[in-house]
Amino acid sequence: MLRGVVLATILVLLAVTLVPTLRSYLRQQGEIDALNEGVGQQRAQVAELQKEQARWDDEAYVMQQARERLKFVKVGEKSYTVIDGKPSAKALPGVAKAPAASSDHPWYGQLWESVRVADSGPAATSGSATPGK
């Protein structure tokens, strides 16, 4: 009987000392796995940024970006910019036409109308609906 009590006491002491250590070890392993995953994502991001940097080393790419982003032109070329051009409905597929804003509805009614139009998609009618329907 005394041997059983001594053995049980030793097992309890081992459990008390090993359980927090084991819990700490498992938590740290989880943190290490999460950090390794983050490192992998950052390496992928670095590789992507290095590819972009390599593109900027190409003179043709730099010229293309200058033309598109900054509207640069070569000597002798003419650049045209349309200021008040209205794109046709065909140029904007999938865009719902919102009804003209009217001030006779309160702000929450106008907000609800914009949500309703956005939800209905490109098949939305241009007529105004009553808020709350």
Place of tokens 């983050």: 38
pLDDT tens, residue by residue, 92-130: 555 556 666 666 778 888 888 888 888 776 654 444 445
Report how far residue 91's alpha carbon sits from residue 85's, in angstroms, rounded to the nearest whole number. Answer: 12
Among the candidates 75, 106, 122, a domain finishes at 75
Residue type, 124: A
Domain count along the chain: 2
pLDDT attached to residue 63: 92
Residues 98 and 54 in one domain: no
Name, in order, each residue with C-beta under 8 angstroms of 64's C-beta and a sequence gap of 6 or more: none
Residues 68 and 105 in one domain: no
- Residue range(s) defining the domain that contains residue 17: 11-75
Report how far residue 117's alpha carbon sits from residue 111's, in angstroms, rounded to the nearest whole number. Answer: 10
pLDDT tens, residue by residue, 26-82: 999 999 999 999 999 999 999 999 999 999 999 999 999 999 898 899 999 988 888
